[in-house]
Amino acid sequence: MKHEPANILFVHGNNDLYGGDIALLELIKRLDRKRFRPLVVLPNDTRHINRLSAKLEREGIACRFVRMAVIRRKYLAASGLIMLAVNFVAGVVALMYLIWRNKVELVHSNTIAVPCGAFAAQLMRRPHVWHIHEIVTRPAIACKILHPVVTRLSTVVAVVSHAVRRHILEDCPSQGGKIRVILDGIDVAAFANGNGNKVRRELGIPPDVFLVGMVGKVCRWKGQLLLVDAAQIVSKQREGVYFLAVGGVFDDEMHFMVSFRNAVSSNNLSRNFIISDYRSDIRDVMNVFDVFVLPSTEPDPCPLVVLEAMAAGKAVIASRHGGPVEQVGEGETGLLFTPGSADSLAAAIIALVDNPDRARVMGSAGLKRASAHFRVERYAHDFESLYGDLLGIYRVPALEREKQITSCSIR
């Protein structure tokens, strides 16, 4: 007997193309269409960004915009909480309708910031996978509220690193059976043979300078200002080192970009520290660097940019916390530095500036590590297996489900 593909509703909170957005796109692109039919829902207040939705459209993947609550910092003020509540109710109702109208069998909420999918799945009695890409550290009360909600309203909690799992278990120590680690993956081959020379020419970077770079959204904790402090130290001790930071900023967080540009100017780094807005040619960008830096001041759960740099054959310098500790083989594929310390970051940069051959060897080792452990094919297969398990369980009599769900979660 031939079965129709299972309809899966993917609920996501942004329409950009950074870490969590790219992870979702790469997963959906590779799902077996004979088994799974995806429908993606995005919040209607991000329609104008038109990056993820445009990619989905080109892939022939159905996408809908609805009014729904997304947990963003701007809503955490007293005035914003009312709007958040209104959007929450509207979102749950809209998603329940989509579940009914499209005969959705499973709901996948991508990132902790989209609660509506979990509640809609609960009310419609559908299995729910909450895919957590974040390590939420502040405000502290957010963890105490969000983590119990995540574990209680999910059939399985899929997390992007062991660091994320440990963080959730600090607040929900009895819920380990629900949490499954599925490491992110990337298309490793896509980062080979990028045209770094094109980027150097476009941005006016001399061809013979050592280039240290980062890629990431400009925000409070990604570490752009820390990189400026480290660049000042490096520039005083070594000549011919340039820095390039690539990444845009959310509409309502323009002040972070202003502060970033002001810091570069006030530290007299305008000659050798270049800031570029969001770029779509990340393969070329990664290939222009001699060393890639991830200076996050708070734990980064499983940054895709680290994997992309490794796939491009670049040595990685990253903060010693969160997911990078699992991604980077310290001393083999890169170096880890003390989080928040400009001196420690500068020392790591200088160590590779002084030994570029070591940086190249680390880059080659990083490519091998990315190919062995972080391929997108494995990532997609892990989720297909999870979906298959859950859909199989939810088609058996109710009395058998509870035992099978636990087995599925911890496998």
Whether residue 86 sits in one domain with residue 202: no
Q: Report pLDDT digits (tens) over 209-263.
A: 999 999 999 999 999 999 999 999 999 999 999 999 999 998 888 999 999 999 9
| pLDDT value of position 253 | 87
Helix locations, 249-300, DSSP H: 254-266, 282-288
Average pLDDT (293-310) is 96
Q: Report pLDDT digits (tens) over 349-400.
A: 999 999 999 999 999 999 999 999 999 999 999 999 999 999 997 765 544 5
Does residue 95 form part of some domain? yes
Q: How many CA atoms are closer than 13 Å to the CA of 324, on its beta-carbon side?
A: 30
Does residue 349 form part of some domain? yes
* CATH code: domain of residue 20: 3.40.50.2000
Q: Report pLDDT digits (tens) over 168-199.
A: 999 999 999 999 999 999 999 999 889 999 99
Residue 340, pLDDT above cutoff 70? yes
Residue 83, pLDDT above cutoff 70? yes
How many independent structural domains does the chain possess?
2
Percentage of the chain beyond pLDDT 70 is 94
H/E stretch holding 243 reads strand 241-246
Does residue 306 form part of some domain? yes
Residue 219, both tokens: 């925000």
Average pLDDT (301-321) is 97
Whether residue 272 sits in one domain with residue 148: no
Q: At what angle do helices 304-311 and 356-373 cross, to 10 degrees?
A: 110
| pLDDT value of position 394 | 73
Whether residue 391 sits in one domain with residue 278: no
| pLDDT value of position 410 | 46
| pLDDT value of position 80 | 74
Does residue 1 form part of some domain? no
Are the C-beta atoms of 247 and 215 separated by less than 8 Å?
Answer: yes
Percentage of the chain beyond pLDDT 90 is 86
Whether residue 336 sits in one domain with residue 297: yes
Whether residue 169 sits in one domain with residue 214: no
| pLDDT value of position 393 | 74
Q: For residue 274, how far is the Cα from the chain centroid?
A: 24
Output the 3-class SS for 65-131. Answer: EECCCCCCHHHCCHHHHHHHHHHHHHHHHHHHHHHHHCCEEEEEEECCCCCHHHHHHHHHCCCEEEE
Whether residue 165 sits in one domain with residue 311: no
Q: Is 289 exposed, middle or buried (0-12, 13-18, 19+ CB in 10 A)?
A: buried
Whether residue 229 sits in one domain with residue 106: no
Average pLDDT (341-355) is 98
| pLDDT value of position 2 | 56
- Band of the pLDDT at 409, cuts 50, 70, 90? low
Residue 328, pLDDT above cutoff 80? yes
Does residue 155 form part of some domain? yes
Q: Which residue has the higher pLDDT, 246 or 407?
A: 246
Does residue 48 form part of some domain? yes
Distance CA 297, CA 132 (A): 19
pLDDT-wise least confident of 62-76, 298-312, 397-411: 397-411
Residue 56, pLDDT above cutoff 90? yes
Instruction: Please give the model's pTM, rounded to 2 decimal places.
Output: 0.90
Domain residues for the domain of 369 are: 188-373
| pLDDT value of position 408 | 61
Distance CA 33, CA 380 (A): 12
Q: Report pLDDT digits (tens) over 98-150.
A: 999 999 999 999 999 999 999 999 999 999 999 999 998 877 777 788 999 99
Whether residue 269 sits in one domain with residue 254: yes
Whether residue 264 sits in one domain with residue 142: no
Q: What is the DSSP string of 192-204?
A: TT--HHHHHHHHT
Whether residue 245 sits in one domain with residue 136: no
Whether residue 104 sits in one domain with residue 228: no
Q: What Å distances lie between residue 205 and 200, 244, 279, 313, CA to CA?
A: 5, 9, 17, 20
Whether residue 20 sits in one domain with residue 111: yes
| pLDDT value of position 204 | 96
